[in-house]
A and B are shown apart, each in its own frame.
Chain A
Amino acid sequence: MLQTRAIEKRVAELSRRFGLAVDPRARIWQLSLGEQQRVEILKALYQDARILILDEPTAVLTPHEADALFETVRAMAADGRTVIFISHKLHEVKAVADRVTVLRRGRSIATVPVAEATLRSLAALMVGREVEIGRRADGLRAAGEAVLELEAVSANGDRGALALRDVSLCVGGGEIVAIAGVAGNGQRELAETIAGMRPLAAGAVRVRRRRLRGGDPREAIASGVAYVPEDRLGTGVAPGLSVASNVVLKSYRQPPASRGPILRLRRIRELAQHLMQHYDVRASSPQVPAWQLSGGNLQKVVLAREFSGEPAVLVAASPTRGLDVAGIETVHAFLRDAATRGIGVLLISEDLDEILALADRIAVMYEGSVVGERDAGSATVEELGLMMAGGEREQQ
């Protein structure tokens, strides 16, 4: 038998003791995200967990809720429990932890007492110093006329709250501007807003000086925005369709892929064959379904298609994620080539090595805003790392 009363009593007691205000009788759907998270923690406490792992627990919380969570975490520690708190935000680490271990690329880099650590020293550990050495083979590119301008752009996230706040940016023709930041700080929303897949809540996006209505991918494509989405299989390509179909995914409306309402299948196949040869896409034929291709080859298909539209701007969101070394090299070569041809490239990446190897200018995003912008020549890794972790908010 489920002893509802006894359970409720214990839940109420636990929630009092650890400052986790939740009505035991409420239904989950009635609760805010912050309250739902409290329920998760209560669940663990109810089972008398001795070790609690919280993975980015503040991602869904308001600052006020986050402060309450820190209180709870410390109460649990005082109670003799162990709490492992995973975060990329340095001020949270400083606020809540006793000891901090820095992980980079799956390796434990260092463990230090928080009392002895400063925001700068932690940021340095996070991003590493070795990237400083020999970071640019080629010199900085000179930016041409502005091809992409963002003016105080705001947009909602999938959950409805603002995920992009007042972002202003400018990308010139022939330069690579990188957006650095830890994933989930509004980069995906930024890319989608420029590509027309997400409506603007406020502000303006201009491509080649023409203002876009926004929220319409076809308009963005027509005005010269190429977009390499983070989600290759499923957004960037239709996985069940052939490579040939995916090559003309955006150009099927115009000649030579179609004439009037009729597709010209032979032309499409020839076009695909040509691009596959030119960009060295390894697949047995253009008729192979896209899902059978490796990540690198798939990305080549996406890039080949996006370039064939002769865009003004290329937005590349985590274009090397999940690729092997050779694939990464190819993508980097593509992006450099694009800049050489006068295309304005907006590169969104979490990888500072990649950014420093490619970018001419670097903007850092944190919690939906651009918190700083640097020329690649003058940026230091520590400084970028600090901004990425929210250690330093500066005025634009």
Chain B
Amino acid sequence: MSAADPGAWLVWLVMSPLIAAILVFLVPRIAFGIACANALCTTALALAVLDRVAEGPVRYALGGWGAPLGIDLYADPLTGVMLVGASFVLLATTFYAPGYLAQARIDALYWPLVLILQAALNALFLAADIFNIYVTLELLGLSAVGLVALADRTRAIAAALRYLLASLVASLAYLLGVAILYHSHGVLDLVALADSATGTPATWAALGLMTTGLAIKGALFPMHFWLPGAHSYAPAPVSALLSALVVKAPFYVLLRLWLGPFFDAPPEVGDLLGVLGVAAIIWGSVQALRQDRLKLLIAYSTVAQIGFLFLFFPLVKAHTIVQGITLLMLAHALAKAAMFLAAGNIIHYLGHDRIHDLHRVAKELPLTLAAFGIGGVCIIGLPPSGNFIAKWLLIEAAFDSGEWGWAVVVVTGSLLSAAYVFRVIGHAFTLDDVPEAGNRVARPMVWTAFLLSLVALTLGLFAAPLLEVISMPVAGTADAMGIFP
């Protein structure tokens, strides 16, 4: 295993954050330095992997054991895009966190937990079999719950507990599905399952259990009940990670399953998930409009944006849908992280996040408000953001498959998101007198939020090469079965 071996890159994407987590736990003094080194290293590795998988998928058997008892790592273009998105968001939060942690007096446990979260996330994206996905989902859930509870307020702990219970029930439903799939097909590997899984009753039972479990973890309406509390009471950098990355992980697994073993699922199931997605868009947007607190508004916006992702299922057989959904996951991750980081700055400056009292934020925190606004523009889906191209591809997919109703949903949902974004921006420009100046916001906090929002905004300009990579045939998915010409 040499440094030039792409298999080694996959291993280090998991090992680097794990080693860093242990180091920062033992030597908290140099936590920031280690976390920075790890963030830069994993970003470089993720970019290298994305570049490499454009030529074809990479598979690596850990320790040379191989399936079924060993653990395989597997990367294809979809993995590559997810890894790059995750490492960019983590890079931004790493530089953002020291300023925030110092003023919020949050435990030093932030760093080890966040690094374990990254290790779990990367391992999940790289997992080649459905049982390793279960293990990484659990690791991800446990570290995420720990991070929410760091806020150490009663409400945050209650939200963390609710999140943990929902997540555990969801994992068990998923695991029961794994048991059924393994019993009926004798394999756990995703690629092998895609070949062997046929429309037997056992497969459909597993489909129901696994999809339900992952939909709870992915906070699909009406199973989103745990999300607003957990995402809004958590510390700001944690909220950014949860909304940008952690809810995407179960959706990524759903994507893998539905492009693989469940590709021939009855269309009614896909339609049902699509209808729930529509309900999520409407409910999430309306709730976002009704919120009085900025972070809750952003959290409900996540509920709505997850609804867009679930439009994948009714359109699963359309030509451009995989590209559109992958790009939407990436674009939403970047934009939403920028919005939560900006909200963290506003809370730090004002000491609260009541939307009605956001006076003078535009004047006092121009870059932060710009970050929030640009993030909002991306969420709405205006060009040149990645969301614009992603939503365009969704609409194209809807027209291609002749079900134009879904296209109407995409447009309506975007209009609703415009409503709640402009509501915040309107309040930020009011000119009431502020009795005293707010707390100074550290420069790295302002700039990471702003730069992340710029990356999200300009993503659309780099979308063409990215989409070319995603449209590559992927072994074990529908592409390889000749569905997409």
A and B found bound together:
no
